[in-house]
Structure 1
Amino acid sequence: MTTASTIPISTESEAPWQLPYRGTVGMVCLIIAEAAIFAIFFVSYIFYIGKSLSGPTPREVLELPIFGTICLLSSSITVHWAVAALRKDNIRSCALGLASTVLLGGIFMVSTAEEWYHLIYEKGLTIRTNLFGTTYYSLVGLHATHVIVGLILLSIALFTALTGRIKEEHSEKLEVVSLYWHFVDAIWVGVFLVVYVIGR
């Protein structure tokens, strides 16, 4: 007498493992390298806090850049929205999300430029004034450079969206750009805490 087996046998084959998108891998590697560079600048800034032999000091000249910070961090939401829209082949919403991201990033850069103008021409703080000036402009300037690069990439993506050259199949490439932008925003959180909170 034979008995039927009661062990369930799955007839569905597992989905084959696929290599991650090479653009994503490349961006992750770049972000790791850039994060290491920023870590060096953070440590340097913290090490030299309070060691300037002359003024002005951070407490005397720095103000919390609340508005610029809100704009930059909000841009992470809009770039995520743009990528999500492109995955659904909603080009119009994608373009709107990219335009919003570029606008918010541009506002942040304008606020940074206004802060630097105030520090240089009204407070007399330059990169050569003291250790504070040297470390401040090095760290904040490094971040501003990354913001500019991100804005260039996002502006190119926005142009392709407005001209109808971007399609759903380009969503992975746009996600790579968004990863860079999220990194820039995350680094600003560190800059804000180190320079404007701990450093004051």
Structure 2
Amino acid sequence: MARYTGPKSKIARKFREPIFGPDKVLDRKNYPPGQHGASKRRGKQSEYAVQLMEKQKVKYTYGVLERQFRNLFTKASSRGGITGDNLLQLLEARLDNTVYRLGIATTRSAARQLVSHKHVTVNGEVVNIPSYQLKAGDVIAVRQKSKTLEAITNSVAGRVINKFNWLDWNASELSGKFLAYPNRDEIPENIKENLIVELYSK
């Protein structure tokens, strides 16, 4: 698939945020990449540029392609409530993101790989679609024969207990339950979803 596989620090520097997790390069060079470095004078961004930048940041953060993202926005728009909140809830309900939030994988890209390689089950059935949308009550678990994988055991060993209120973790079974869609104030990412709504509303 058309996934970004280049340097993650370069993307983090572009947005000046550690969107892929702690980044030593970003700590040292907290300015956009380019041959002129921090010395290059950059003009004021237009309203459209700011909105587009926010959308791109969310796409990179959650590892979603343009068509997937637009489809999610359409779905979020058709639901009752605030469109921006709905969009983030749908992104959080993706299977790969939930595997990451549960601590089964250390990054979203690692979680996507675990799902694609059939190491994860939903309600007892193997699901290998990272974009699979979870519903309240769904149980996500590590497949029985995959529980000894070093990548999984190392990740689970370093997880923070009960970090997210909308998820319930069972350490002995290496499984978790998706309790409900999270409230906006429970999602820790620094995202201005109103800018994305304004962009798509043009």
TM-score where L is the length of structure 2? 0.26
Which of 1 and 2 has greater Rg?
1
Higher relative contact order (CA 8 A, sep 6+): 1
Higher helix fraction (1 or 2):
1
Higher strand fraction (1 or 2):
2
